[in-house]
Amino acid sequence: MTAARVLAGGRMVPLLDRIAQKYRLMAPVREDGVLLYRRVDGGGEVCLDFGLPLVPPKTHFFPQTELLFSYAAADGLELKEPSGIPASVLFGVRPCDLRGFTTLDPVFNGRFRDAYYLDKRENTTVVGLSCTEVRPECFCGAYGGSPVDGQGADLMLTRVGESYLAEILTPKGEQLVRRCGEFFLPEGAEEFVRAKAALGRELEARFSRRVDLEGVKDKAAALFESSYWRKLAYRCLGCGICTYLCPTCHCFDIVDEDRGDQTGTRWRCWDSCMFRDFTLHTSGHNPRGSKMERVRNRFLHKLSYHLDRHGLPGCVGCGRCIAACPVNIDITRVIAEIKEVE
Ligand code: SF4
Ligand code: SF4
């Protein structure tokens, strides 16, 4: 389903005002100089300038800390689960983060269906926003993405001059456009579609990182016993920021809080495969007890394991881990080195 409309110049903020009246609206805002997604009451709060929010929007579906249920056991067991979210719009998601959603979906909707994630996915309309620049760390093109790719969005917006092309990609996107119908014009969309294609070509030519993934999956897996990982791990501090900021990472821990009066809560909290405790068994055994094993696991998960399990790469080329790593461990350099290691 692709139908195209035009959102005329100057109409974006009023459109977001309208969306906020009809949905719970989550959008990028700049707070103390940091770009973040949070709930907004209107378009005036939303940052429309180009930028990749520091923390990926996966937090909307998979929050950093999430109450799973509370319980009271004094008089039989009573479980109380949180009510689901109201109809929401997640606005301004960049193409790499849209792919982050399609990468996470099979994890939470596979052999085990995660009702917490899926309820939020179901009740959220995702509005993507094409990039207008590329950052030095970006390499989404290596994974078949593009700065203007709408895969994973319900409605995809692309800025053309002062106006926006609006591509309706799913029934949820269609419903949003219908509910805000007076903002979207059918006239002139073909010209905007051509302008979007030209923008995509121009931005792809500007990628400063050329990443060749040919043969990397098999080579990385074949290097399981290589000393390469040990050398890489010497530099790693094990801080885990690469995994916390990654739109596709999904390790979590379950924490039970017993209040001591037969009531309590169960929480899900982000965890990281870069932390020693993540795989520590109660027996004391740890299958990934060394930093080398954890670093190796992270890269093999991105380059090989996720592909094996779900048919999709575990990386979308957002470059957040490259920008954030305090010791400059760079996944694009790791990919190039894997190709060279004997
Ligand atoms: S591994 Fe790094 S570049 Fe790839 S999706 Fe995660 S944060 Fe982005
Ligand atoms: S951000 Fe860098 S130092 Fe920190 S865990 Fe990741 S690779 Fe290691």
**Among 321, 334, 335, which residue has the most ligand 1 atoms within 8 Å of its CB, making it the best to mutate?**
321
Distance 246 CA to ligand 1 centre (A): 5
Claim to verify: residue 284 and residue 143 sit in the same structural domain: no
Q: How many residues does the chain have?
A: 342
Split at pLDDT 50, 70, 90, the class of 105 is very high
44 and 173 co-located in one domain: yes
Rounded alpha-carbon distances, angstroms, from residue 95 to 33, 118, 156, 227, 250: 22, 21, 9, 36, 19
pTM of the model: 0.95
User: Structural domain of residue 45, as residue ranges?
Assistant: 3-59+71-206
40 Cα to the center of ligand 1, angstroms: 27
pLDDT-above-90 percentage for the chain: 96
CA 192 – ligand 1 centroid, Å: 31
My answer on whether 259 and 201 are in the same domain is no
Enter the tokens of residue 243. 């995994």
Q: Which amino acid is at 104?
A: L
Q: What is the pLDDT of residues 173-198, one digit of tens each?
A: 999 999 999 999 988 899 999 999 99
Shared domain for 195 and 294, answered yes or no, is no
Q: Is residue 211 one of the residues assigned to a domain? A: no
Note whether residue 158 is domain-resident.
Answer: yes
Q: Which residues face 3 on adjacent strands?
A: 168
- Mean pLDDT along residues 109-126: 96
Nearest CA owner, ligand 1 atom 6? 246
Runs of H (alpha helix) within 206-277: 216-222, 228-235, 241-244
Q: What is the pLDDT of residues 129-139, one digit of tens each?
A: 999 999 999 99
pLDDT in tens, 272-324: 999 999 999 999 999 999 999 999 999 999 999 999 999 999 999 999 999 99
* Average model confidence (pLDDT) across the chain: 96
318: Cβ below 6 Å to ligand 1? Answer: yes
Domain identity same for 236 and 178 = no
Q: What is the pLDDT of residues 190-224, one digit of tens each?
A: 999 999 999 999 999 999 998 999 999 999 989 99
- Residue 256 Cα to ligand 2 middle (Å): 28
Are 54 and 179 within one domain? yes
Going from the Cα of 103 to the center of ligand 2, the distance in angstroms, rounded, reads 22
Q: Is the pLDDT of residue 1 over 70?
A: no
Cite the DSSP H helix spans in the chain: 12-22, 95-108, 115-122, 171-179, 189-205, 216-222, 228-235, 241-244, 291-300, 306-310, 320-324, 331-340
Task: Out of 206, 233, 253, pick the residue that ends a domain.
Answer: 206
CB-CB neighbours of 73 under 10 Å: 13
Ligand nearest to the CA of 331: 1
* Position 342 confidence tier, pLDDT thresholds 50, 70, 90: confident
Pocket test for ligand 1, best of 135, 316, 322, 328 (most atoms within 8 A of CB): 316
